Structure 1
């Protein structure tokens, strides 16, 4: 605690959150710096809100760090949640992390001119559900919310349909129709709904409008509808989110972003690069094959940077606007409806004028019943998707990958794997603590803030 207090200036939080406080009305608020220090301790030791307050009440080291006397009381645990969601939020929590990066720059702790980019997954904080269960759960949550606050409206709500003697598909369609009717009925009568009611109406609408829901490829939870299916490797998958971040060679995280689990890693490079350039001059980017697309290499080389990125012959063939997505971990292509390819083959001749291609095959029995088959599947025996293997950018990159310089630099990329492990093992990034994309952004921002502080202290220690 003493090293953190001596190294980090937490007063920056006053400027970040000052617009969310009213100076003239209401009771005096708890000091933002006190609450930020509590959030720091909570993330550092991976504690719940209740346990954080309980331990800080009796731990003299914590109270010293918080600037409190032993007899002083602490805020209620609910204050931590309100401060996270309403004072910080996804935008301000990233500014908290960036404030530490600025302090590192001011102390001249960042001297490298390279960034390492990677992503790590986080499991959603909810159980997976079938489409019928998702629809029923969303409807139940809406009805309970109305019953709690609007008793008169509750009495006139549409009646739940009977699902007996219906097939599984018919049950899901009936539940979908009921949820759509229920949501529209409540929204028309409560156009100015706020808080919990508005949140549940938004989730219900999101579920109803999900085209992949009934094909079992879309939303899997009525309480965490932003989570999506993704791959960790060819044989392992997960349901949740991807955390993307850029890090310097000194292991200071400079930029973060969160996406659902099915998003393409490579498309995040541009944002991570531009965000990192606000703090440092960048001459090199290190990453894995997921970032080796033609567009990414063109962007990097166009800014006269080196791309220490190994090539995957399949990744670069996809275009930004292409609805088909390739996943490097599973080595499969996902169609717009969310179905994965079942096998692949290489076509074309080597050393010919025409490039070889990878052809991915889909299960046509699924294509025949797909609600999105128009313009995609024409009733043929096979449904395939091909990706070209070569481009000029990649030929140039191939030449660089053969150099001794690249073979020395590629070892640096492994440092980001240590950072991934640190955030998951010690700071709870394995599973989402909060629900939704908004909550995941807050969790990643606080985690990056804490590991940056730890690294900042380490960099300032004299070499032994």
Structure 2
């Protein structure tokens, strides 16, 4: 059963937070800046509202995931750190002496409670709302573009994530014992995700046998994160083989396999909308969705700036109908028509 529980527990030790968590602490600032009550509204359909045991506060669980993303830790380690990091406890609205959750509860929350929730739109909309409220966004223009490069807002492929995390784990271990190189399995030479998973599983098995090594906190954290990632990828492979990814083209003579991220952002470089499509989709076809999502997020869109892909006939008609100025080089399909 879900209920609104986000009030700081009464405790004789609450004054500790004012002594330990300074006013300029990032998590304290976020707590003061953002009203997280929107989480209840977004997740209410994923909980029973009137019977059963009280669920762990969804806002607290959502904040755990925020911390997990910021610090790039496994469920186990982000919960472990929240036992003793007072800034974490303050951010999670816990009393200093309050017990933390079981890590399995966090795993269940991110896999089940967030199911069917469009987190991308939810977080973008909240970001835009705050940026407008704080007058960070002052423009009425959006810039539209699509990317299939490794930009900072682009997700890595599962294989790239595994490679990155296994590399960080190895580097951490080499700082302690460089002789471990001879014990590690040979790296995979293929582009197959299953081969990378097998390599990571073998690497994990070797490291776990080193009882002294795994006691180092920096090794333990990297190991737990890699192990969690492998488990998530194995589970995802059992659900889907990702048949949607298709070949698209960056230019007339280059191709890529996967997805495109289509973005709209304000002139202040705040992302106001995003859509994700398969690689072969035309950029221009996403313009209307990006404008509509930006408006839904709170933007007053008067001007749209993009390249020639966005100035096709349908987009020009849509822009004229909605009194939006479209700034883009004329699409060849229009000039030839």
Aligned pair partner of 2:65 in 30, 39, 61: 39
1:116 to partner: Cα distance: 1.4
Q: What is the TM-score normalised by the length of structure 1?
A: 0.44
- Do the aligned partners of 2:304 and 2:324 also contact (CA within 8 Å) in 1? yes
Q: Deviations over 1:189-231 (max 9, x none)?
A: xxxxxxx99x95x85xxxxxxxxxxxxxxxxxx3x33333334
Unaligned 5+ segments in structure 2 are: 1-26, 149-154, 160-189, 195-233
Matched, 1:258 2:292: no
Q: CA RMSD in A?
A: 3.4
Correspondence 1:229 to 2:229: no
Matched residue SS, 2:326: strand
Q: Which residue of 94, 99, 112 corresponds with 1:73?
A: 99
Match for residue 385 of structure 1?
none
Q: Give the 3-state SS of the residue equivalent to 2:309 in structure 1.
A: helix
Give 1:62-461 correspondences, 5 Å limit: 62-93=88-119, 94-121=121-148, 122-126=155-159, 203=240, 222=241, 224-232=242-250, 237-278=255-296, 279-313=298-332, 316=333, 389-391=335-337
Equivalent residue, structure 1, for 2:228: none
Query: Are the equivalent residues in 2 in contact too, given 1:123–1:239 (CA < 8 A)?
Result: no
Partner Cα distance (1:77, 1:234) in 2 = 49
SS in 2 for 1:243: strand
| Contact 1:11/1:33 (8 A) holds in 2 | yes
Contact kept, 8 Å, 2:42 with 2:117, in 1: the verdict is no
Work out the CA distance in 2 between the residues paired with 1:227 and 1:2. Answer: 41
Give yes or no for contact 1:123–1:238 (8 Å, CA) kept in 2: no
Contact 1:245-1:257 within 8 A present in 2 as well: yes
Summarize deviations over 1:285-307 as a string: whole Å, max 9, x none.
Answer: 01223323222222223322222
SS of the residue corresponding to residue 258 of structure 1 reads strand
Shift of 1:238: 3.5
Give the length in aligned residue pairs.
Answer: 235
Question: Given the alignment of the two structures, is residue 7 of structure 1 paired with residue 33 of structure 2, yes or no?
Answer: yes
Q: Is the 8 A contact 2:257 2:279 kept in 1?
A: yes
Give the whole-Å Cα distance in 2 for the aligned partners of 1:225 and 1:49. 29
Return the alpha-carbon distance in structure 2 between the equivalents of residues 280 and 24 of structure 1. 37
Larger radius of gyration: 1
* Partner secondary structure for residue 277 of structure 1: helix
- Choose between structure 1 and 2 for higher RCO, CA contacts under 8 A separated by at least 6 residues: 1
* 1:237–1:84 CA distance, 2 compared to 1 (3 A): farther
1:46: how far off?
3.8
- Would the aligned equivalents of 2:310 and 2:331 in 1 still touch at CA under 8 Å? no
User: Are the counterparts in 2 of residues 16 and 92 from structure 1 also a CA contact under 8 Å?
Assistant: no
Deviation at 1:271, TM superposition (A): 0.7
Give the gaps of 5 or more residues in structure 1.
134-195, 204-221, 318-388, 392-464
**SS of residue matched to 2:158:** coil
Structure-2 change in CA distance of 1:241 and 1:59 (3 Å) = farther
